Amino acid sequence: MAARNPEDLDRLFAGALNTGNIEELMELYEPQASLMPSPGKVVAGAEAIREALAGFIAGKPTMSLSPRVVAKTADLALTTSKWDLTMTGPDGKPAQMSGQSIEVARRGPDGNWRFAIDLPFGVDTPQG
């Protein structure tokens, strides 16, 4: 699973999340990437991202989204996506979330794009 274009990242993310494939999700991130797994909380590095994403997978999520590229240079891209997610919350009850993400993606030496910064809740969320 490789993102050959920046806009592929969000589509591949939703597919891997919906099937519960943590390994495919991790392939979409640079080793030192950062992720905002909940409003106001940012984690960095592969181990912290894996832990955060595993928490979402535990809730058997279903995500739909519509990605687009905002700006792109040779090896960097700014992308955004409107998304909706339904899952089982930690309390066992159904939960719904939605947002407008902002992501910075970088093309690696192998030609594949990966998230460097992934802010699913956008920039209007307080930072912790």
Give the separation between CA 123 and CA 46, rounded to whole angstroms. Answer: 22
Which residues make beta-bridge pairs with 79?
A: 69, 103
Is pTM, for the whole model, over 0.85? yes
Give the separation between CA 40 and CA 3, rounded to whole angstroms. Answer: 28
The CATH label, of 3.30.1300.10, 3.40.50.300, 3.10.450.50, 3.40.50.970, for the domain at 8-119 is 3.10.450.50
Q: Note down pLDDT in tens along the chain; length 128 residues.
A: 789 999 999 999 999 999 999 999 999 999 999 999 988 899 999 999 999 999 889 999 999 999 988 999 999 999 999 999 999 887 888 989 899 999 999 999 999 999 999 999 987 655 44
